Amino acid sequence: MECIKIGIVVTSDRASLGVYADLGGPAIKEVLGRYICNPLEFEYALIADDQESIVQTLIDLSDAKGCDLIVTTGGTGPAPRDVTPEATQAVCSKMLPGFGELMRMASLKYVPTAILSRQSAGIRGSSLIVNLPGKPKSIQECLEVVFPAIPYCIDLIGGRYIEGNPEHIQVFRPKK
């Protein structure tokens, strides 16, 4: 199995200043480690909620580092400094609104404020970028509903073949 390169981008003013520990990045790594059988290589960035910094980080992870999947956490709410979806849209050639729609629907089962979240996903080259909320519990809930489509999406855009772990998640690929 090929090694899968995964970018993790944590956008948080306070965590990037060391005010509190990043919990989102480790949560993403843990969930994807359970869902994917391939060997994994993670590229990690903890940055402030600054649109230009997010844009440059996403470009670097896609273009220079060759990540198949880039997962962001944080910056998806309605606050003035929440700009992760705008940065994602700025670097993507195609947006995939179904990801955000499904994540919000799943989150609405737990909190009515899920309608305030602006998760999204898009494609840059052969990288799929997925914006997740910031809380570890929400990260798990959102990845659980969208991950079954992620490996096939990455197949379609020319990324490496991701083998799902059927003990933890059922990946969907159409029958040939």
Between the alpha carbon of residue 171 and those of residues 67, 138, 145, 151, 167, the distances in Å are 20, 20, 11, 7, 11
In the block, residue with structure tokens 């700009």: 83
- The Cα–Cα gap between 29 and 31 comes to 6
Residue 175's pLDDT is what? 87
Residue 176's pLDDT is what? 77
No. of helices (H) and no. of strands (E), the chain: 7, 6
Smallest CA-to-CA distance from 132 within 122, 116, 148, 121 is with 121
- Identity of residue 87: A
Q: What are the backbone angles phi and psi of residue 123, rounded to the nearest 5°? A: -115, 130
Q: What is the pTM of this model?
A: 0.96
| Helix 84-91, helix 51-59: angle, nearest 10 | 40
User: What is the chain's alpha carbon radius of gyration, rounded to the nearest angstrom?
Assistant: 15
- Identity of residue 53: S
Q: Average pLDDT of each block of 10 consecutive residues along the chain (176 residues)?
A: 97 92 96 98 97 98 98 95 97 98 96 94 98 95 98 97 97 91
- The Cα–Cα gap between 14 and 112 comes to 25
Smallest CA-to-CA distance from 70 within 116, 11, 12 is with 11
Count CA atoms within 13 Å of residue 100 on its CB side.
20
Per-residue tokens: 43:
């590229």
Cβ pair 144, 126 in contact under 8 A: no
